[in-house]
Amino acid sequence: MTHPAQPKASHFINGEYVEDTAGTPIPVIYAATGEQIATVHAATPAIVEQALSTAKAAQKAWAKMTGTERGRILRRAADIMRERNHDLSVLETYDTGKPLQETLVADATSGADALEYFGGLAASLTGEHIPLGEDWVYTKREALGLCVGIGAWNYPTQIACWKGAPALACGNSMVFKPSETTPLCALKVAEILIEAGAPAGVFNVVQGMGEVGGALVTDPRVDKVSLTGSVPTGKKVYAAAAEGMKHVTMELGGKSPLIIFDDADIDNAVGGAINGNFYSSGQVCSNGTRVFVQKGIKEKFLARLAERTGNAILGDPMDEATSFGPMVTENQMNIVLGYIEKGKEEGARLICGGKRADMDGYFIEPTVFADVTDDMTIAREEIFGPVMSVLDFDTEEEVVARANDTEFGLSAGVFTKDFTRAHRVIGNLEAGSCFINSYNDAPVEAPFGGVKASGVGRENSKEAIKHFSQVKSVYVRMGDVEAAF
Ligand code: NDP
């Protein structure tokens, strides 16, 4: 019998599901059991061509609609997503393995927030009037044209919406390629947009690996590329986009610092560290995986952290009591287990976890290492799994310098009751998305993105509008034209 997660077809182009079984089969594996639940096919060159030409053809008419009309469609899509939150969350759990306890509140809901927020902004995208004596200039905020979105595997619904909603609000069309690991959810986003009234062709989904992404990025019809992925992929995609002078948004990886001063509320700090390391089993780009704890509270912090981490419930992700799911794939599990072994070899002190859980699926126990030093591999590289490194520090000056000593700059957090210090420290940290006495909140109203190698551009908020539109300025002369001859 066909599994309920199996989509009608692999791709969604020009308002309908499209199949081409000549493309390489991509098995969809449910991470909690290792069982194959669906198959899709990578896009063939013919499918890529169909998606790009459709999106190109649909864009101009979409941009000519009023912002109010476009916004209404996006807001209707948001409502449909919320009505179907349960089914969409189940699908997200099948796609990623993340527990339903999380997906019910963090995925379709976050996607709906983006559709609603950018739907609301669509009618407000106006230009300026600039008086110049009798003459004047007016500016218009115009769409970029055809945009490509490429997603990572940790938040397949959210990423499709965080890219699709601002792109469409500004009058662009989009071809979106999900990660081959999680191909299912973006198809539902495309289906819902059509149901909400989006014209066929403005949001299309094609499946495939990096080579399909590469074909999209290098196509001359494409005006913008928005990627969520790792730094190495980001460098490749950014370079390919530069060749065609395309706009880019790069949402890449991190190794973010979370700094806990000795005056912090210990339970809140432990909560922040748990949210910043173990949500989605640690598969979150903004995670605060270098937890710097001031020496005075170190052992107390570790004891409370170990106690609360012991309360994680590993199990069937479809059971709403389960609070901790598997790694997305066997491969990702093995990568993370490799880092755990490195941590042990390089002399970090294992506080809890440290191995694969004794159960079906790709579960790793939530793992905490203490006495981690700056040069250890687990403190330098993005692990993308449930591995927290706790490092000690003495002074503010020292911890800020150490926190910044990384190529990454996605997020940073600080826990302290001294607000003057909190703002000063955040001011000195090299990161795009920061937190004071909190960690990993990502409301659509706030800009999200990194500095240094962690990215270029911002998603969410009014900032995202700037990255999906461009300004045309028009000089208007009221009198005669003077010329030299
Ligand atoms: P990857 O960088 O491996 O892949 C990202 C996407 O790019 C995938 O869809 C991938 O396809 C595609 N891709 C790979 N090579 C190319 C290429 N040459 N041209 C075009 N597209 C290509 O990332 P993961 O999927 O492993 O995701 C994890 C990473 O994403 C982590 O580093 C994480 O930090 C980052 N991330 C960043 C976020 C942010 O907002 N800053 C949020 C979430 C994750 P395929 O995999 O199918 O081959």
Enumerate the β-bridge partners of residue 470: 142
Distance 235 CA to ligand 1 centre (A): 11
Amino acid 93: pLDDT:
98
Task: Tell me 337's DSSP state.
Answer: H
Helix (H) and strand (E) counts in the chain: 16, 20
Q: What number does the ligand 1 atom closest to the CA of 229 have?
A: 30
Query: Cβ distance 28 to 40 under 8 Å?
Result: yes
Quote the CA–CA distance of 322 and 93 in Å, as a whole number.
12
Phi/psi at 342 (5° precision): -60, -45
Residues designated catalytic: 163, 251, 285, 459
What are the structure tokens assigned to 377, written together?
A: 């591999």
Distance of CA 473 to CAs 94, 140, 141, Å?
48, 6, 9
Distance 332 CA to ligand 1 centre (A): 13
Distance 25 CA to ligand 1 centre (A): 20
Q: Is 384 in the pocket of ligand 1 (CB under 6 A)?
A: yes
What are the structure tokens assigned to 128, written together?
A: 């300026």
Query: Cβ distance 280 to 374 under 8 Å?
Result: no
Contacts of 143 (CB under 8 A, 6+ apart): 59, 63, 170, 171, 172, 468, 469, 470
Quote the CA–CA distance of 234 and 240 in Å, as a whole number.
10
Q: Residue whose CA is closest, atom 42 of ligand 1?
A: 285
Q: Give the containing element (helix H, strand E) for 418.
A: none
Q: Residue whose CA is closest, atom 15 of ligand 1?
A: 210
Q: What number does the ligand 1 atom closest to the CA of 237 have?
A: 19
Amino acid 310: pLDDT:
97
Amino acid 1: pLDDT:
80
Task: Tell me 282's DSSP state.
Answer: G
> Tokens 């030093």 belong to which residue?
373
Q: Give the containing element (helix H, strand E) for 326.
A: none
Quote the CA–CA distance of 10 and 112 in Å, as a whole number.
23
Q: Is 253 in the pocket of ligand 1 (CB under 6 A)?
A: yes
What are the structure tokens assigned to 325, written together?
A: 């799911």
Q: Is 154 in the pocket of ligand 1 (CB under 6 A)?
A: yes
The Cα angle at residue 371 between residues 365 and 375, in degrees rounded to 5: 100
Distance 230 CA to ligand 1 centre (A): 5
Quote the CA–CA distance of 164 and 162 in Å, as a whole number.
6
Q: Give per-10-residue mean pLDDT for the chain (485 aa).
A: 95 98 98 98 98 98 98 98 98 98 98 98 97 98 98 98 98 98 98 98 97 98 98 98 98 98 98 98 98 98 98 98 98 98 98 97 98 98 98 98 98 98 98 98 98 98 98 98 96
Quote the CA–CA distance of 225 and 218 in Å, as a whole number.
10
Q: Is 276 in the pocket of ligand 1 (CB under 6 A)?
A: no
Q: Residue whose CA is closest, atom 1 of ligand 1?
A: 229
Q: Residue whose CA is closest, atom 39 of ligand 1?
A: 251
Amino acid 217: pLDDT:
98
With the most atoms of ligand 1 within 8 angstroms of its CB, the residue from 179, 184, 224 to mutate is 179
Task: Tell me 43's DSSP state.
Answer: P
- Whole-number CA gyration radius for the chain: 23
Amino acid 406: pLDDT:
98
